[in-house]
């Protein structure tokens, strides 16, 4: 009797392990694939928005630098009249 009970228990354990949880259903797999696709689409969208924002910021900084450069008056060039030593001496001699 003990052997029979032991063999029934062992058979029950094997049946329990063999009939364990089933794999995911096709609906669950589809939901999982949809959520993965949604996450990928969101990350691509966020990445493109970030690139566009960075590009816009770069263009704005270039425009600002250009406007600052245009707003600054150009330094006036000093006209230097050079007189040679000989000319100065001539002027001094005439006086």
d(CA 35, CA 41): 10
- CB neighbours of 32 closer than 8 A, spacing ≥ 6? 24
> Under a CB-based contact definition with an 8 Å cutoff, are residues 13 and 21 in contact?
no
In the numeric block, which tokens belong to residue 69? 């450069």
d(CA 8, CA 16): 12
Q: What is the pLDDT along the chain (95 residues), one digit of tens a residue?
A: 889 999 999 999 888 888 777 778 889 899 999 999 999 999 999 999 999 999 999 999 999 988 888 877 666 666 656 555 554 444 445 44
In the numeric block, which tokens belong to residue 51? 């690139």
């Amino acid at each position: 009797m003990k052997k029979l009970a032991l063999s029934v228990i062992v058979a029950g354990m094997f049946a329990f392990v063999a009939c364990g949880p089933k794999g995911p259903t096709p609906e669950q797999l589809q939901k999982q694939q949809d959520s993965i696709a949604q996450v990928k689409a969101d990350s691509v969208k966020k990445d493109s928005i970030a690139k566009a924002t960075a590009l816009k910021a770069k263009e704005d900084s270039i425009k600002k630098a250009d406007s600052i450069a245009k707003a600054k008056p150009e330094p006036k060039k000093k006209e230097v009249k050079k007189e040679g030593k000989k000319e100065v001496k001539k002027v001094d001699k005439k006086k």
